């Protein structure tokens, strides 16, 4: 009698209660993340106010067309490409140096600046990075090893970087964005909630997409780092070969 009453009643099991609590929390996180995006867009769309007196804040470095290319008939064509792949660097002085440790000492070396590389899934059409057929002919497909993700990634890069040169100009601040204290207070409260590592995992897995697991990458790409180094498999020190045979191995390798 008692068992049948429990089975037919609406009493929820422990597993069901845990699942409902988890789903309610995920729904709450989804709502808060949506609210954060809404407030962040409001902050971003606050109109800029011009300064009464503009001031300089360091220097900015970017690419421009070379003088002979700028005077040619194809200047407009390469300008359109440059607008999509140009990069900007900022510095306190004109030298654009960075600190680097060498033999236990910190030294300053020049900062390297390259044109923007297009990720494979963004090429040829992605939002503002839309390239027509003629522009696509000036890009080549390259593959580089990413030491952080430990995988080879495919990019499309401009094949004629010599057409552009770097130029340094003073970086002038002419406008400012006024602060909305109430908006900043709400964003700070939401950041405190959403920056938790467990909540960030829920957002990444349930809202953004899927969670990124390193185990699958390491299992699939364990030895891909050395896939172009064929000399790893050819231990010439343990082989008794003639000079002609060794030279043929190098020719096949390279």
CA dist., res. 22 & res. 199, Å (int): 12
- Indicate the pTM of the whole model: 0.68
Is the domain of 155 the same as that of 191?
yes
Looking at the structure of the chain, the number of domains it has is 2
DSSP annotation string for 47-95: PPEEEEEEEEEEEEEEEEE-HHHHTSTTHHHHHHHHHHH---EEESSSS
Is the domain of 135 the same as that of 235?
no
Residues sharing a CB contact under 8 Å with residue 55, sequence separation 6 or more, in sequence order: 172, 173
Is 123 in a helix, a strand, or coil?
A: coil
CA dist., res. 183 & res. 191, Å (int): 12
Q: Is residue 4 part of a domain?
A: no
Structural contact between residues 190 and 83, judged by C-beta atoms closer than 8 angstroms: no
Q: Per mean pLDDT, which range of 4-8, 162-166, 168-172 is the poorest?
A: 4-8
pLDDT band at residue 59 under the 50/70/90 scheme:
very high
State pLDDT tens for residues 197-249: 889 888 888 887 765 566 655 555 555 555 544 444 445 444 555 565 656 65
% of the chain beyond a pLDDT of 90: 57
**What does the pLDDT average to over 147-171?**
91
Cα separations (Å) of 51 from 5, 54, 178?
75, 6, 11
Is the domain of 205 the same as that of 245?
no
Is the domain of 191 the same as that of 249?
no
% of the chain beyond a pLDDT of 70: 77
């Amino acid at each position: 009698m008692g068992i049948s009453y429990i089975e037919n009643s609406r009493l929820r099991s422990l597993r069901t209660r845990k699942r409902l609590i988890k789903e309610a929390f995920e729904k709450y996180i989804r709502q808060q993340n949506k609210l954060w995006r809404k407030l962040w867009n409001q902050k971003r769309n606050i109109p800029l106010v011009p300064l009464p007196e503009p001031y300089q804040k360091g220097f900015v470095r970017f690419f421009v067309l070379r003088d002979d290319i700028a005077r040619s008939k194809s200047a407009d064509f390469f300008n359109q490409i440059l607008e999509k792949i140009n990069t900007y660097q900022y510095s306190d002085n004109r030298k654009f140096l960075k600190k680097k440790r060498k033999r236990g000492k910190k030294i300053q070396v020049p900062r390297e600046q390259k044109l923007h590389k297009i990720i494979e899934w963004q090429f040829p059409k992605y939002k503002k990075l839309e390239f027509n057929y003629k522009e696509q002919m000036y890009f080549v497909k390259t593959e580089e090893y990413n030491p952080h993700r430990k995988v080879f990634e495919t990019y499309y890069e401009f094949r004629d970087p010599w057409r552009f040169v770097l130029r340094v100009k003073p970086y002038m601040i002419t406008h400012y964005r006024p602060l909305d204290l109430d908006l900043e207070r709400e964003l700070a409260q939401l950041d405190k909630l959403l920056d938790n590592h467990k909540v960030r995992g829920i957002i990444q897995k349930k809202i953004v997409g899927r969670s990124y697991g390193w185990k699958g990458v390491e299992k699939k790409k364990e030895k891909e780092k050395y896939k172009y180094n064929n000399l790893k498999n050819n231990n010439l020190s343990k082989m008794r070969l003639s000079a002609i045979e060794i030279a043929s191995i190098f020719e096949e390798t390279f």
